[in-house]
Amino acid sequence: MFSLSFITTIRSFAQHKLHFSLSVMGLSLGMAIVILMGLFIRNELSFERNQPNVNNHYRLVMHAQENNNEYILTTPRAYQQLANIAGVDDVFYVFKTQMASDDKVLVGQNAFQLLANVAVTPNITQLVNINVLAGNLQDALNAPEKIALSRSEVLRLFGSDIDTEKRVYTTDFKNIIGKTIRLQHNNRLITVAAVFEDLPINSHFYFESLMSFAPYQHIGGNVAHTYVALSAGADKGKIAAQVTEVFNQIWQWKNIYYRLQAIEDIHLGPNFAQDMKVGGAMSSVMICALMSGLLLLISCVNYVNFTVAQAANRAKEVGVKKALGASKRQLITQFMGESVLLAWLALVVACVFVELAFPFFNQLIGRPIAFNGWHDVIWPVMGLATVVGVVSGIYPSFYMANFNAKAILSGAFKQGRQGVWIRKALLLVQITLSISLLIGAITLAKQLAFLQSLPVNYGKSQQLVIDDMPASTLYGEQQFAFFDALQQIPEVIASTAIDFDITQSTNAGIFIEDKLDPSNPLSMSLAGVSGNVVAALDLQLVAGRDFSIEHASDWYSKETNQVSIILPESALSVLGFKDAQSAVSQQVTFAAGPVSRATGVIVGVVKDIKVGPVNYQGAPVVFVCGLGIGGRYSLVVKVAEPSAHSTQKALAEFIRARLNIAPVAISSLEDNYQALYQEQQRLAEVVQIGSLISMTLILIGVFGLTGFIVKQRQKEVAVRKVLGASRISIVNALAKEFLVLTFFGCLIAWPVSYFTLADWLSGFHEHIIQSIWVYGMAALVVAAITWLTVASLAFKVASTRPSLTLRYE
């Protein structure tokens, strides 16, 4: 019985080649998308799942109630107070040594920058799984003059000492233990004490080398990632309140509280500028899951439509089998078997699509997906194909099994109107989903373009950023000679020092005394810069002047505790100034970092700059001349041709020769800003590709249905031609029902898309207003594709001589 059904199924596929080909193509596209998205979602949800005691480990996150911004770095000064909180079993610190310029090294005569060097507390192995390949990790973490390197970092730094053409074994790394590297910053000699395996991809932790935290434990600023291990059953809310109290006592903060973020929630939680690597987003996972489900649904609808549309071609087969004694159950089983077998065949094609698309997909999502081969997912994908086959085959199987055998064999069989309405309803679902996806893709692209076009009130197109500069050069006694020499490079227009990443977030706060209420200082952000900041960053000066070497008093003086400042325009009213001009030459009292009750002389007022992404509601930025108190120092250089290789080469050679720093990290401020929207850009591209695939599936569906409809109505077409109808009128008559479905699809898709996108856009501080033309364009595109698809087949039939169709009538 089984073999007979199998042979019948194969013969059916061979007899109905168009139905078979279109069904396989549609289902394979849908399943390929689901498999790719499934691998992506599985990867996103797997972060930190293999870490030790993952359910008890949390990261400290500061939340500012004034602007709802959050910050993930804290001061190591709080270690003992945190450790003393009841319910806290352990405290872990992770500090990027790049903030202390301790990541540039010499290996022999070769200069390198350590890719991701961090200083950690010795208990790090209780927080992160680290597979040691050689040496003793605890030696590296307990001794300040030692370091542990990852497998990749060893090969990069000491590749000449290892036979990299062969597989590297653990024993090969034993030769690396005891080798030395030299820190360029302070000429310290560091010994390699351990080699560990590269961290897995599915972790928010990222480091290529580890050092002892001991040299950095007394840093006063908020510079370290802080994690805590809680006791089983500990009250997280109570502990968070005590953590808040600890830091409020240290900093005398107000309107600030801390929350505990479970480490397994970090990757899909909010992305922070200080994260060890770029995280994902739960919204992206949900959108990808929803989109892949919709595309698979469209594929299944195609199959149902094709099967029902060509059911009349198999009516005699059903009638004969019923006459020979076949039961309805047997027929349903046969048709369901055909559907499942076709889905399995489509799965093979889908796997080929996945293999071809996998490299491009990894590039699209911006991170490699762990995929160990099909044996790792064979049962889930087989289950997917089986479910698709069953779901797609349920209605067609019952529909055909219910055919009346007597009517079929007597020649009186007519396919009922029920099948027609089902086909139209399913096609309406396809069209509705495609219009919605297209509206979403256009809106996403518009929102992204809008975010990137918003004014940030500083220049990006001509500015180059040189990172990891020594603070002593930018703010010390030699700064004037340094900037004067830099200005002699022909391509340089202006330059300034800066102690934060302007495309990410500020590193320090400034508390300006309120003259009406001195006990409640006004909290703002501090930008420690040098001279010519307005010229170098193209700030929009409202009143006053730039910092200038011609005014020596502009620079911060420890003796007088006085400095010149440039205020943002938004700070004028809260400080009691009626306009920008009246603020110039006035004085304010402020505190920032180690400086308290300093006098700031206002020499200029500029329009507020937007630090970080536009949906980050940062505090107003006050520019302070010669007072760098951030953890990372950079040089911003405005040049005539930022993309010219000769310009960047000249700057790199100048820094290398002047400061003996190598390698020199130079980036474009424009590129750094565009990187802020990388995740949104990727999401937009994914939705755009999804909308294109949905258009392809609709084209396949309409093409297949049109072929069946045209075949059924070819006599009607011939009669219309005899009566004088033109070919274009015949094409429009055949396309009319599809265009009517497109109209009803719009009536459903438009309100659903509007409210869904309105909810999504509300998550942005700045967002576009939805445009009616987007909805009209989506409808026109789907209508045009539908009409052209119908026309391509209908025109051929309308061009056939009527006599060839009606000669037997």
Cβ contacts of residue 142 below 8 Å, gap of 6+? 122, 212, 214
Give the pLDDT of residue 164. 47
Q: Which pLDDT does position 104 carry in this prediction?
A: 82
Q: Which residues of the chain have pLDDT under 70?
A: 1-9, 11-16, 66-67, 101, 160-171, 309, 311-313, 406-420, 423, 516, 518-519, 614-617, 630-631, 704-714, 716-718, 720-724, 796-809
| Ramachandran bin of 530, using left for φ above 0, alpha for ψ from -120 to 50, beta for the remaining angles | beta
Q: What is the Cα–Cα distance from 522 to 536, expressed in whole angstroms?
A: 28
Q: For strand 587-592 and strand 595-606, is the pairing parallel, antiparallel, or unpaired? A: antiparallel
The burial class, CB within 10 Å (0-12 / 13-18 / 19+), for 119 is buried
Three-state secondary structure of 478-541: CHHHHHHHHHCCCCEEEEEEECCECCCECCEEEEECCCCCCCCCEEEEEEEECCCHHHHHCCCE
- The pLDDT score that the predictor gives to residue 627 is 86
Q: Give residue for tokens 């980036």.
A: 667
pLDDT of residue 6: 63
Query: What is the structure's pLDDT at 11?
Result: 66
CB neighbours of residue 559 within 10 Å: 5
3-state secondary structure of 384: helix
Do 658 and 469 form a contact (C-beta atoms < 8 A)?
A: no
Q: What is the average pLDDT score of the chain?
A: 83
Residue 295, SS3? helix
Q: How far apart are CA 151 and CA 393, in angstroms?
A: 52
In sequence order, what DSSP letters do the residues of 458-481 get, joined into one string? S--SSEEEE-S--HHHHHSTTHHH
Among residues 808, 800, 809, the alpha carbon closest in space to that of 721 is found at 800
Question: What are the residues facing 111 on neighbouring strands?
Answer: 106
One DSSP character per residue, 3-69 reads HHHHHHHHHHHHH-HHHHHHHHHHHHHHHHHHHHHHHHHHHHHTTTTTSTTGGGEEEEEEEETTT--
Provide the Cα torsion 29, 34, 40, 44; round to 10°.
160
Give 508's Cβ-side CA count (13 Å radius).
27
Taking the CB of residue 627, how many other CB atoms lie within 10 A of it? Answer: 27
Residue 690 structure tokens: 């999804």
Which residues sit opposite 497 in a β-bridge?
A: 635
- Tally the residues of the chain: 809
Q: What's this model's pTM, rounded to 2 decimal places?
A: 0.78
State residue 417's pLDDT score: 52
Q: Do residues 701 and 792 lie in contact, with contact meaning Cβ atoms separated by under 8 Å? A: no
CA 39 to chain centre: 16
